[in-house]
Amino acid sequence: MFGAFGKQETPKEMEEILNDTITPQELEKFEKVYMKELKDKKCVTAKTQFEYAWCLVRSKYGADINNGVKIFEGLCKDDPDNKRDHIYYLAIAYTRMKDYTTAQKYVQAFLEIEPNNMQVMLLDEHIEKELNKEFKKDAAIAGGALLVLGGLLGVGFALAKKYHDKKKPDEEVRKNEPAN
């Protein structure tokens, strides 16, 4: 009875995750912890960095997402045990910023380590869809140009042909006239 729902909603499920944004208050909460550690100890624990970066990636603002990316890039080196999470969030971050080509690189890096991860496969599907949309746009422009070119060539051929065949139709008309 409900079987039909799952499949069709799949792409939208990823969209829900990508569209989900954090409230400014929530973000501020984690920012405060991060800034405090930075001030007091000059070095922030991996846990605090991770939490703040995750919140940044969920922000409405591109600048925040960018800052999140920087932290996750650092964490890939400094906290290699959880690299899987960091790569995932880098892919999410670039997808949210609509840099699908970079996002896809992270997705592929993830799938090399964990080929059947559902979360990442769904993200991959979403990125493919967006890349196809971009490709469609490009194709439409290229296709449009081809059509114009084709059209011009077509007209050219038609004219040439008409000129070349000019006599034939006339003859035919003449031939037909007596029959009328």
Binding to other proteins by CB under 8 A, coded x per residue (else -) over 91-130, reads -----------------------x-xxxx--------xx-
d(CA 42, CA 46): 13
Nearest approach in angstroms of CB 169 to other proteins is 41
Residue 44's identity, in one-letter code, is: V
The tokens describing 43, both together, are 């070095």
Give the angle subtended at the CA of 73 by the CAs of 70 and 77, to the nearest 5°: 140
Q: Give me the least distance between CB of 9 and other proteins, in Å please.
A: 5
Closest CA to 90 of 57, 60, 127: 57
Judge whether 59 and 27 are in contact, CB under 8 Å. yes
Of the candidate residues 32, 36, 47, 166, the single one contacting other proteins (CB under 8 A): 47
Residues lying near other proteins in the complex (CB under 8 A) are found at 2-6, 8-9, 12-14, 16-17, 22-23, 26, 30, 47, 50-51, 54-55, 82, 84-85, 88-89, 114, 116-119, 128-129, 131-132, 135-136, 139
